[in-house]
Structure 1
């Protein structure tokens, strides 16, 4: 009877479920209830994580709060910055920027170890081919008379030395020949008279053989042949057949092109790197793929006041007459900077330049975690795609050559030293956060007024690489301009400048002054006309 009652009770589902629940609670107490500190430790870690969290504003990274909320300056929601309880390497400087390997890969950050070397500056020059003035001559008439026949009929014709280029009818020459024949009859009595008659004909460029032939034959002629006194190319034709000319009139200008000059324009900033005797390699747009060479024979000691350039003359042989006057030439001179021998050279991409400070980021090698430290440096001369470093970097330092802006942005968000902040910001907590709501606006105003760095775009007219070089150098020459880049296709000049030192109007006037129209100012016609032919855009 008792056994049946027990069986009926066990058949009750509610009782089954109740027993299972009691057994489960007992097992949970047996497993987790024996550690009296587990609950308190979890609460303690959670409290520490909340206390170590720093909150900042994405628009105003100088704001640092110990709890979430609104930015006291712009009212944006604060974002979590960093937890002090996170993993970090004690060997890393607290001012260094630590980044995960994933973040470094996403930002494409690349580093390079620097070393000392003998720097070489690439100086870019633009110019044109000119005839060698020392080999050019003017062919003149030796007598007064009428041009009976011209043997040179057009500009560009080749002339050989001694070639007959014209025949002139001269009554005066006829009289002089007759005087010679009369004097020859009295040669025994008046020998000096014969010598005077011969000398008169020599002054008219008759040769001794011609004079002797006149004396022997007794024949006189009013026609005289004009011989070329040099060989070359006729670059200018001054007369036509039938013209009357006087003694000394120029008939032709003849240029010898066996040797030519390459005349380059060098800006005043590049002149210290050029020396007479330097070898220059240059190329021509008309002869692609071929390089010509020569040596600097002359540097003009006077600058052109309009273009701010000096002429650099390079002498070069022209055996195949490939170099023709007025061809455009581009030259690159590799000038060794002997005064900066054994100095550190770094790529331009590694430098963040604010106008006053030049900074790089150096990779820290003390810890395991990737970290980068800001380093202020002093720059020497530009070498084209690199800089000479005077001080601030040591031989063997590993610097960031790509992605430095990403690291600097991270530094600004963490309130550490960066391109825009010379000193690291101190986190604001507690009651200081409430005071910031009344002071933040003033602080932001002071920060903006102290930098006054602005970006502007103006339209500048130009055509070629020479225009680009001239426009950018003139713009950078204006005090306060930190960078200038002109796009040859869009004609837009991108500027970064200090608004407390200069303005867009001042930069525009400086560019117009060297011959380039802007959307604000127009260049003088005389200045424009002085530009090389490849730069004339009107």
Structure 2
């Protein structure tokens, strides 16, 4: 059946005559398509019955529009085109929906995350969604030795930041110089070698050393002769006077015994006894005198010669030791021994940072041939402006960072402040002595230095967290916070830090006073988290 246009029911009480209301009204119009018995499709074009007053001239009412539609849809050909167009559009929409169905899941997930991020509370420091966490069993916690400390406060300090450079510790740096002139026979070390105190750095041939060795041999020969003479004198050989005196003494002693025996028998006189005793005493004194003259004089002379030779030899040995221990190429045959050689030894343990000589070179006494530095400790020289140097004292904590190393702050303390200013830069040299484990800091390296100076306000406080609690994961600083509601679970909390002083990091955000963090064992938790992430990526 052909489409036909029907208007609103003329008996509808809601209709208002245009002439009665004084307003322009337009009825609702229904376009009905009847394709068969009982099949009716209605399209309604409804416009407000109340037209805006003062409608512009030429503006069309809904009724007029409906009449136009009747004109357009009245033709069977136009109606068929409209129906085909509608069906085609419906089909295209259905196909497009099926095509995008697979992508809707990903879009939905992205939208959900976007909505979650949008809905997160402003100022939420840990981000939207579920917080990261690491879980350990009680056995793993015990094995890791987990220790927990709280976030604390301390008086606020201001960080004076300046630039500086690394220098060798001059108190642990020495030059090796020979005390004699000569020629270098051999060099045993190179630049960068690590040596111990006393190690032979080079062998030097010196005429002066050869001459001293000759004098030493002469002194040793004199010593041996003097010792032999002393032994001979002490044996009392060829002491004629002493022997004669001894004979007289023996004779006087025999006469004295005989006289006493006669007196005991009553055959002798007392005067004979007195004479015999006097003769004995005289002989005894003569013997003692002769013995002392002959023996003591020779012994004393021999002893003096021995002592002189011994002292001369000792002085020469000491001089050779001062010049450097003599090095013999063949100690068994003194005729083939090169007595001109002397060893130049390392004065301290450390690293050879300079080698200024090669084998065959002629050298003068006192010329520095090697520089050895103990770089287990180094100096950092900071250039502090005169406006800031007054805030720094000997003992002030300092932290040193190196962009070249890319490591965290290294702690040290000020041990010297130069009282003089550089007139051109108006800066003072402030020296920090630092431990250098692994010899990471190299002489000449540029560094950034921060000095912890008090802010001056007694009430100023700042949050700090132990440095042992902070770990770096994916270029962010994190700590591990134990969860109160789940044993063995630790929240991975991202924190913003500002500097490290005396084993503590200054906290900018991410933690509050009283929060608990893992200190000892935090690296174990970091490792566990990274393992978990690797497992997720593997799936």
TM-score strictly above 0.5: no
Which one has more relative contact order, counting CA pairs under 8 Å at least 6 apart? 2
The structure richer in helix per residue is 2
Q: TM-score, normalised by structure 2?
A: 0.39
- The higher radius of gyration belongs to 2
